[in-house]
Amino acid sequence: MALEESKILENYFDEIAPNYELMNSLLSLNLDKIWRQRLLKETLKNHPIKVLDIACGTCDILRLFLSKQSGLEIFGLDLSFGMLNQGKLRDKKLNLIRGNGIHTPFSDDCFDAITIAFGFRNMPNYLDFLIEAKRILRPNGKLTILELTQPQNPLLRIGNTIYLKSVLPFISSFFGKNQEAYDYLARSIQAFPNQKEVLNLFSQAKFSKSSYSLNQFGITTQFVGIK
Ligand SMILES: C[S@@+](CC[C@H](N)C(=O)[O-])C[C@H]1O[C@@H](n2cnc3c(N)ncnc32)[C@H](O)[C@@H]1O
């Protein structure tokens, strides 16, 4: 995806921001809550103190972190003012920064953990994102990525394609405002590299370890990289 497409994405997300959380729950049949909890659990295993959630959107993950562990120093970064504003409406005290995930304003080695849920797919360049995340993680710090992927089983893959091409546009046209944004969502999931290709990118970004685990047979995947 070219960098200028980030501008188009920013507009998409500004438009869908007010309905975003409702649409998320509907389109994922509420499974997104379970997947986010897994991401949280994985991140908190290492007892981080300073955490950054990139592409934080309406700040769901930030609120979850704060409800689970007190004393966390947590920051959210996102490209869309519309999404960040929805987050601020819920909690005025959140530390939010408007910015691009591939070029953040943070210094080297400053976070114990970085998370990104359903935002990696949107980055203008996946490798650039991983290199930037690694730069701002402290040594041994952990990056956890939750992303929509394609199931590996061929039958489930067909089912998922039907869902993305028929059910998703139908539901989103009924509830969502911006049809184009949801068309983009379906296209971007299908264009996303498979799990092994993503691990290859972690290696190219020079993470010392990386792994992945599937959620619901690969409808989503959680990737973990250690600096
Ligand atoms: C599908 S939403 C996910 C939001 C949130 N993480 C969640 O779990 O609900 C994707 C988010 O990525 C943000 N985004 C897209 N491109 C970005 C970029 N290059 N840098 C930072 N954020 C970006 C969008 O503005 C949007 O809020």
Please tell me the predicted confidence (pLDDT) of residue 3.
54
Cβ pair 121, 54 in contact under 8 A: no
**Pocket mutation for ligand 1, best pick of 75, 83, 182 (most atoms within 8 Å of C-beta):** 83
Mean pLDDT for each consecutive 10-residue tract of the chain (227 residues)? 66 79 77 95 96 96 93 95 93 94 97 97 95 98 95 86 79 66 76 94 98 94 98
**Pocket mutation for ligand 1, best pick of 23, 78, 81, 123 (most atoms within 8 Å of C-beta):** 78
All domains in the chain, ordered by first residue: 5-151+193-226 (3.40.50.150)
pTM equals 0.92
Please tell me the predicted confidence (pLDDT) of residue 1.
47
CA 124 to ligand 1: nearest atom: 19
Please tell me the predicted confidence (pLDDT) of residue 7.
75
Please tell me the predicted confidence (pLDDT) of residue 54.
98
C-alpha of residue 117 to centroid of ligand 1, in Å: 8
CA 53 to ligand 1: nearest atom: 6
C-alpha of residue 23 to centroid of ligand 1, in Å: 15
CA 13 to ligand 1: nearest atom: 25
DSSP 61-130: HHHHHHHH-TT-EEEEEES-HHHHHHHHHH-TT-EEEE-BTTB-SPPTT-EEEEEEES-GGGSS-HHHHH
| Separation CA 139–CA 134 (nearest Å) | 9
Please tell me the predicted confidence (pLDDT) of residue 186.
77
